[in-house]
Amino acid sequence: MSAAIGLILLCSACGFQLREDMDLPPEMKHMRMVIDNDYGLLARRTRVLLEQSGVTFVGSEDATAFLEIPGNKVVTEVLTVGDNTRVREFRISHTVRFRVTDVDGRDIIPLQTIRQSRELSFDEQEILATSREQEYLKQDLAETLAHMLVARLGSFNRSALVPVTQ
């Protein structure tokens, strides 16, 4: 019992808080997402997180804001090569560029770039496991970037928002 109380006190002392839904500005409550792949993991996860924060996704004619994601790129690069000229380590990087505009095309949130990467060691004895781990890392990166994107939308300075006229 005392261990549980100690853990609670420790977590509260370091500033730990449970992740909450974002409190988005009213200008972003009726949104249209513009992205190349509507069914990709980043788009799906971002949509779910925004819906949990009270955003309704609508058609272009009913939107008060447009979330544009012109860049959503995953790159795998070789870091080291072994004596046998085979890849030993590589890095998976996921970069997302986004902005939010109003119905007139004016920036509510100017173009932003977020990037995450993970490094992976390649074991030629366990090719299947390495392949699965690579797919898991790509999914994890997309999930992390979706959370970061929604957090940026929620933390944007409301006084800097361009008023939307109806």
Q: In whole angstroms, what is the distance from residue 12 CA to residue 10 CA? A: 6
Across-strand partners of 77? 91
* 103-116: pLDDT as tens digits: 999 999 999 999 99
Q: In whole angstroms, what is the distance from residue 158 CA to residue 166 CA? A: 18
On whether residue 16 sits in a domain, the answer given is no
* 46-55: pLDDT as tens digits: 999 999 999 9
pTM of the model: 0.76
Structural domain count, the chain: 1
On whether residue 4 sits in a domain, the answer given is no
| Angle made by CA atoms 132, 144, 110, in degrees to the nearest 5 | 135
On whether residue 12 sits in a domain, the answer given is no
On whether residue 6 sits in a domain, the answer given is no
Would the pLDDT of 164 be above 50?
no
Name the H helices within 16-116. Answer: 41-52
CATH number at residue 141: 3.30.160.150
Name the H helices within the chain. Answer: 2-13, 41-52, 127-155
Q: What domain range includes position 68?
A: 21-160
